A = this chain, B = another copy of it.
Amino acid sequence: MTLIDGRAISKAILEAVTADVAPLRAAGTTPTLAIVVPTDDEATAWYVRSIARTAAKAEIVVRQIDLHEATADELTAELDALSADEGVHGIICQTPLPKGVTLDQVGQHIAVAKDVDGANPQSLGRLAAGLPAFAPATAQAVVEILQREQVPLSGTDVVVVGRSNVVGKPAALLLLAENATVTICHSRTRDLATHTRQADVLVAAVGRARMLGAEHVKPGAIVIDVGTNPTEDGQLVGDVDTEAVEPVVSAVTPVPGGVGPVTTALLLRNVVAAARA
């Protein structure tokens, strides 16, 4: 059984990203990521600091815009301005959003060329259609980890549990583009374990702590755990009961230290790609 080392994968990606930044800066372009923080949320502030630290190491500039409890109009005006700002290459808008505002609404105000976390429905559509676009970094991380672990995807039976616009659906589309046979399960799926036990590769993106256990996995399966669920004692746990599945599967990503760090690295890789475009 392999516990997949997301931090090591992240490090390898960031080394390549850093190497790509140097010539850009030498040519006068400073890759810049704008992070819009629309609410005063503690967990978000922590996550933004973590991105900023990682970006700084790669010599990518992070411009953090704190809107405090913004209205929808303030938020979309800011995103429009950043979309038009030539000094900004990537834009992300942190959740939670102000009340009554949806991610799709704000996503439409992020220019597709700067939409480094795939929040604009247009990016999802281009992705679905097989056109160049940035996928949500978390969905990208799923595929990147599988590729770096040299898991063959063509013809492989993949089951994605969860159908959110930010993870489940885009991950399914990316895996389909890699020629996997993809099944999308969700809360209404009947007899979930029957489906997940057929998966050569199981992607858990539900957002429910440790909901997938030994009875949900096929012997030898590869399990990618996208969940990050806070526990009462301030820890983070995944959607997968890692200890329970370890004796059955051939590899699993831990939480923390799995998909999370790879996501941040890919977000920054997208910023550099946007800066180069």
Contacts and interface: CB of A to CB of B under 8 A. Distances in A.
Contacts of A18: none
Contacts of A173: 128, 169
Nearest to A107: B129
B123 A189 contact: no
A195 interface: yes
A165 B126 contact: no
A191 to B, nearest CB: 9
B183 A179 contact: no
A29 B165 CA distance: 37
Of listed A179, A181, A182, A185, residue having the most chain B CB within 10 A: A181
A218 to B, nearest CB: 14
Interface residues of A, number: 35
A108 to B, nearest CB: 9
A186 B188 CA distance: 24
A186 B190 contact: no
A50 interface: no
Interface string A173-184: 100100101111
Interface string A186-206: 101110000100000000000
B186 A163 contact: no
A68 B258 CA distance: 55
A23 interface: no
A26 interface: no
Interface of A: 104, 107, 120-131, 154-157, 163, 165, 169, 172-173, 176, 179, 181-186, 188-190, 195
List of 4 A-B pairs having minimum Cβ-Cβ separation, nearest first = A125-B125, A121-B129, A183-B183, A179-B188
17 contacts: A121-B126, A122-B122, A122-B125, A124-B128, A125-B126, A125-B127, A154-B188, A155-B189, A156-B190, A163-B176, A169-B176, A176-B184, A179-B186, A179-B188, A181-B188, A181-B189, A181-B190
